Amino acid sequence: MGKRVGMEVGIAAAEAVALCNIDVAAVYPITPQSHIAEHLADIVHDGRINAEFITVESEHSSISACAGASAAGARVYTATSSQGLMLMHEILPIVSAMRLPVVMGNANRAISGPLNIWNDHTDIMPQRDCGWICMFAENGQEVIDMTIQSFKIAEHPDVMLPIVLNIDGFQLTHMIEPMEFPSQAQVNRFLPPRKPFVALHPDNPISMGCFNMPDIFTESMKAKETALRNSKKIIVKIWNEWGKLFGRHYRPVETYKAKGAKTLILTMGSMGETASVAVDEMRKKGASVGLVKMRLWRPLPIEELRAAIKGAKTLIVMDRAISFGGAGGPVATDIKSYLFQDKSRPRIVNYIMGLGGRDVTVDDFIAMTKKAAKKKEDTFEFYGVRE
């Protein structure tokens, strides 16, 4: 057993990064991510790890610095949130195209406007097509574990892609939870030093991210797509390795009391814990309800999702973002697209909920489940809108 302590989750994220012996961090503070940046800067300043903390003037500069450091062979970390992630957007596809294994913590927060500093998933959803592996943590322990796992996944020679770990802002980042830290020796055994395939160096000049003419650009995009899809088997392999070492198991799609359930609720992020309590309450009253939790968002684990929802009559997808003018929330839209020709698929009811940090309680999950039972076809709606 590792050391178990009570700590704010944002601070724990920085501690987990320190255990990974990073070489470079370039993090610009932004609420509610700032505690990660501040604590990681303290760790470097105090000499606890031999790393460079680059002070930058913006999030655009931070991801650019990370790209350069990673291309030079360094193990690199950054973190951001909301408008900061939006400012990074120009560089994110470049990092994945250059196959740079940067790890990022994203403290999910609503994007402007209007200005809102609280949690939802509207910051990460516009980035979903940037070619990054994208994962969601549910609690503080998962933030620690998945941060460490992310470096091993990203740097694996069969992956070589950046990873963003989503950590719900405030609702998770600022919570104080009991968490277990692995020892430095355990992390060293799990996570080997980075060995880049190639690296920028003045003694051995190479080119990276070169100009693509039309006759090769499509092939480059296909290569990135193939790499992202193929990363899933390595992600699963490394999660299995973690489970054997530490007894905490991770899967692309996880379930709670879902076997045989006629109605399933699907969540991503910290709301899964609230939804599980709602499932318990509904089960006590005889309702056939279960929970499906998507831990891996990109690459989309459609095979695992199909297995998890098999036999269900209704799938209630909880989206904390809206695709304006589209068919509902981005998670539900993707799932409906993949299952469109599956004749045995459940009816999909999509709720847009919890935007801008609005509380979604156990009673709300129960109410949405009851309301979904009355719907006769696929639909979406904003839940809890004041009249």
Can you spell out the DSSP letters for 93-111? HHHHHTT---EEEEEE-PP
Domain match, 220 and 328 both: no
Tell whether 236 is covered by a domain.
yes
For the domain that residue 168 is a member of, what is the CATH number? 3.40.50.970
Average pLDDT estimate for 144-160: 98
Q: Are residues 261 and 187 in the same domain?
A: no
Please say if the pLDDT value at position 341 is more than 90: no
Final residue of a structural domain among 246, 261, 295: 246
| Final residue belonging to a domain, choices 246, 268, 299 | 246
Which residue bears the tokens 């963003």? 164
Mean pLDDT across the stretch 191-215? 93
pLDDT surpasses 70 at 2: no
Question: Same domain, yes or no, for 51 and 141?
Answer: yes
- At 290-340, the pLDDT tens digits run 999 999 999 999 999 999 999 999 999 999 999 999 999 999 999 999 999
Residue 279 in tokens: 């499932």
Q: What is the model's pTM?
A: 0.97
The model's pLDDT over 236-255, given as tens digits with 9 standing for 90+, comes to 999 999 999 999 999 999 99
Same domain, 221 and 270: no
Total tally of structural domains belonging to the chain: 2
Q: Are residues 98 and 218 in the same domain?
A: yes
Buried/exposed 33-68: b ≥16 CB within 10 Å, e otherwise: bbbbbebbbebbeeeebebebbebeebbbbbbbbbb
192 shares its domain with 297:
no
Query: Is the residue at 267 inside a domain?
Result: yes
Q: In this structure, is residue 336 part of a structural domain?
A: yes
Shared-domain flag, residues 262 and 204: no
Range of the domain at 289: 253-382
Crossing angle between the packed helical segments 34-45 and 9-19, to the nearest 10 degrees:
40
Residues 11 and 140 in one domain: yes
Kindly state whether residue 323 falls inside one of the protein's structural domains: yes
Residue 41 is predicted with a pLDDT of: 98
CATH number at residue 329: 3.40.50.920
Decide if 17 contacts 25 (C-beta within 8 A).
yes
Mean pLDDT of the residues in the chain: 96
